[in-house]
Each structure stands twice: as C-alpha cells, then as structure tokens.
Amino acid sequence: TNQQYEFIQVTEPRPGVGQITLNRPKALNALSTPLITELNHALQSLQSSPTTSAILLTGSEKAFAAGADIKEMAPLTFSSAYTQSFIESWSNLTQTLKKPLIAAVSGHALGGGCELALMADILYCTKTANFGQPEIKLGTIPGAGGSQRLTRAIGKAKAMELILTGKSFSGEEAERWGVAARSFAGYEELMSESLRTAEVIAGYSKVAVQAAKEVVNKSQDLGLRDGVEFERRVFHALFGSEDQKIGMRAFAEKKKAEWKHQ
C-alpha cells in the first residue's frame, strides 16, 4: 500500500499490520509540518482501512525523529503560532486513533520525536536509543505533550530533572523507568519483535482490541473509581459482541477462535 508520500513510507509488512516509516533522512526525520500532515493522513487511512488491525510507527536505525523542525520553528512569532494553532494538529495524530499504535524507536527520539513516541500505545526501543526533551537548550519547552506524558510515565522527580536540564536518557533507562514496554539489544531484534507484537495484536478480535485500548487510556484521565466503573461498562458491552461468544466457545472446544470482528 505504498502511496504518494514524500516524507514517510507506508507498507503492510504482515497481514493486518500497517507500518509507517518516517523517511526524511537528511534531517534525521525532523518533524516538519508537511511530514506531520502526511503522518496524520496515513494514520487516518490506516484507521479507516478494514484490513489494518495494528499500526507500527518507526524511523530509521539512526533516528526515530530528532524533534520538531527547528529551522521551520525559528522564525515563528507568538501571534502566528497562536492563531495558526501551531502543533495542534499533532493532537489529532493519536487522539482519534482507535487502533493500537506501536512505536519502534532506534537512535534519536528528541523533543517532538520523544513526544511522538510517548503518544504510542506501546513503545519498544533499542537499549541505545537516545530519548530526551532538549527544548530548554533552544530557549523553549516541550510543546506536544512531553511535560504531561513523560511526567505521568516516570513521575515528577525525573521528568522535572530531564526537562529542566535537557539531558537525554537511554532506551535501557526508558525501559527501566516504564516509558518503554521493552528494550532490545539491536535494531534487527527491535524491528522483528515490534512486528511480532503487532501481528499478535492483529490476530485478536478488533472489537476487543479497540475496547482494551480504550479502557487502558481512560486510566490516564479518570480517577480509579470512575475508571473501574468505565471498564466494567465496556466489559459488559462486550457480551453483546459475536467475538466474545466465538472466543469463549473456541476455548471450551479447544479450537482456534475465528474472529468475525463483530
């Protein structure tokens, strides 16, 4: 399914798995507005594609993304950024995405690149990946959720230190601190394990996968009591799906479930 994009590539490496590869190598995948526009478009297409069940987002071995495009941002003024709602389109990237998004991070994931990785549902990385929010060094601050998502992921103490000093952290630390679900010794392993996970998820009922993602994400916005109640409502709702019947019947009959995704 390769398309007409300039800064990204869209492929289907496995049935049900859509892969988006950031591809602006001369700028270490710096996230310019045209790149983000393409990324938004590709994510929306994969979201609406009936054959895609899970999405893998990656960069190159050298860079996931080295941040928002500094050369594009340099001349911006307050009023142009404010009136054009600069960066707001980034929020669309994942907020409307119901399918699971796995980020496979190798090399630099700095500034907006780190923030983009933090938007994924599952983050995998190499042990030597280079994460950070270096915006302070440029006289600015994270602008695509870094101060919020990183702080939720690793706590205020570490997030404050990282954001105020701009110092980076490794993929190994990302795993230890709970930013990354897993970290891998090498790039090949990162990519094969990321694909494997995407494939596993793509093998389940789409209804159940969407519901699972929805309830876990609610935990980030709701208090525990409301969150548990929300989960229970969605859990109840799934008894209305065909796939719940199919899954539980297959277990009893010791067969493989053949999902109808309904």
Q: Which residue is nearest to ligand HXC (CB)?
A: 111
Q: From residue 73 to residue 92, what is the string marking binding to ligand HXC with x (rule CB under 6 A)?
A: --------------x-----
Sheet holding 17-22, edge to edge: 8-14, 17-22, 54-58, 101-105, 122-126, 182-184
Residue 99 binds to ligand HXC (criterion: CB under 6 A): no
Which of the residues are catalytic?
Answer: 68, 112, 115, 135
State the nearest-atom distance from the C-beta of 151 to ligand HXC, in Å. Answer: 16
**CA–CA distance, 139 with 201 (Å, rounded to integer):** 41
Residue nearer to ligand HXC on the CB measure, 110 or 159: 110
- Pick 136 or 234: Cβ nearer ligand HXC: 136
Least distance (Å) from ligand HXC to the CB of residue 230?
A: 30
Question: Quick check: 66 binds ligand HXC (CB under 6 A)?
Answer: yes
- Report in angstroms how near the CB of residue 41 gets to ligand HXC at its nearest: 18
d(CA 37, CA 43): 10
208 binds ligand HXC (CB under 6 A): no
3-state DSSP helix/strand/coil % of the chain, to nearest 5: 50, 15, 35
- Tell me which stretch binds ligand HXC (CB under 6 A): 108-116, 180-188, 203-211, 247-255: 108-116
Q: What sign for the dihedral angle of Cα 166, 102, 120, 41?
A: positive
**Is residue 68 within the footprint of ligand HXC (CB under 6 A)?**
yes
DSSP one-letter string for 100-124: -EEEEE-SEEETHHHHHHHTSSEEE
DSSP state letter for 83: H
Range 123-162, binding ligand HXC (CB under 6 A): 134-135, 138, 142-144
- Asked if 134 contacts 162 with a C-beta cutoff of 8 angstroms, the reply is no
Q: Which is nearer to ligand HXC, 16 or 111 (CB)?
A: 111
Burial readout 242-260 (b: 16 or more C-beta within 10 A, e: otherwise): ebbebbeeeeeeeeebebe
Residues numbered 23-42 forming contacts with ligand HXC, rule: CB under 6 A: 27-28, 30
How many residues sit close enough to ligand HXC to count as binding (CB under 6 A)?
A: 21
Cα angle for residues 71, 43, 31 (degrees, 5° grid): 10
User: Is residue 108 a contact point for ligand HXC (CB under 6 A)?
Assistant: yes
Q: What is the DSSP string of 35-49?
A: HHHHHHHHHHHHHH-
Binding of ligand HXC at residue 67 (CB under 6 A)?
yes
- Decide whether 110 or 212 has the Cβ nearer to ligand HXC: 110
Instruction: Assess 111 for contact with ligand HXC (CB under 6 A).
Output: yes
Contact 22, 7 (CB under 8 A): yes
Positions in the binding site for ligand HXC (CB under 6 A): 27-28, 30, 66-71, 87, 108, 110-112, 115, 134-135, 138, 142-144
